[in-house]
């Protein structure tokens, strides 16, 4: 049986924590769709196209992973993709309440779609995209938080933003 899973997020920027969840999901599910969301509640640094381009380069080693953008309700997107699984990453207990609420609301809206929560590997549990951006804004070292490709793009983007 082919299992299609959707791993949604803003991925602004993609971190080692995100890649940990993607890699592990690729071993569990037949097809993993990394869905780059437009989230108006977040302070976004990269365009959806930039985030997708980074993720495509970072995930090309996993043949069953694809990257795309989505807008609207996640469950509608999942259904359109033929997915019955939503993958969510959990870094710390502080993430649990939000993920719990989202899983239950998605289940209420779409009883045929389940949420699978994966604990991020311990060495990545303190990483968030917002922390990466904040450290980079002040010129701090982010090498342990994001792959070199992302690090270079983040600092290039930050440098351009400071000139404006």
As a whole number, the mean pLDDT across the chain is: 90
Q: How confident is the model at residue 160 (pLDDT cuts 50, 70, 90)?
A: low
Backbone angles phi, psi at 41, to 5 degrees: -85, -5
Predicted pLDDT of residue 39: 66
List pLDDT tens digits, range 97-129. 888 999 999 999 999 999 999 988 777 677 788
Question: Which residue ranges form the domains of the chain, and what is each CATH number?
Answer: 4-163 (3.40.50.620)
List pLDDT tens digits, range 46-105. 999 999 999 999 999 999 999 999 999 999 999 999 999 999 998 877 778 888 999 999
Tally Cβ neighbours within 10 Å of residue 39.
12
- Classified as helix, coil or strand, 17 is helix
List pLDDT tens digits, range 127-143. 788 889 899 989 899 99
Alpha helix positions (H), 110-147 = 129-137
Contacts of residue 132, Cβ cutoff 8 Å, sequence gap at least 6: 13, 15, 142, 145, 146, 154
Predicted pLDDT of residue 83: 97
Q: How confident is the model at residue 24 (pLDDT cuts 50, 70, 90)?
A: very high
Which residues carry out catalysis?
A: 18, 42, 91, 129
């Amino acid at each position: 049986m082919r299992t299609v899973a959707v791993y949604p997020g803003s991925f602004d920027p993609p971190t080692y924590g995100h890649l940990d969840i993607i890699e592990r999901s690729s071993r569990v599910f037949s097809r993993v769709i990394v869905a780059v969301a437009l989230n108006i509640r977040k302070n976004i640094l990269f365009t959806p196209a930039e985030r997708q381009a980074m993720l495509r380069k970072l995930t090309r080693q996993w043949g069953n992973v694809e990257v795309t953008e989505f807008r609207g309700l996640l469950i509608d997107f999942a259904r359109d993709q033929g997915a019955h699984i939503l993958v969510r990453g959990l870094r710390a207990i502080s993430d649990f309440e939000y993920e719990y609420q989202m899983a239950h609301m998605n289940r209420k809206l779409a009883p045929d779609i389940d949420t699978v929560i994966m604990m991020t590997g311990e060495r990545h549990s303190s990483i968030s995209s917002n922390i990466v951006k904040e450290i980079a804004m002040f010129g701090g070292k982010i090498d342990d938080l994001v792959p070199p490709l992302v690090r270079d793009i983040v600092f290039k983007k930050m440098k351009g933003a400071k000139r404006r």
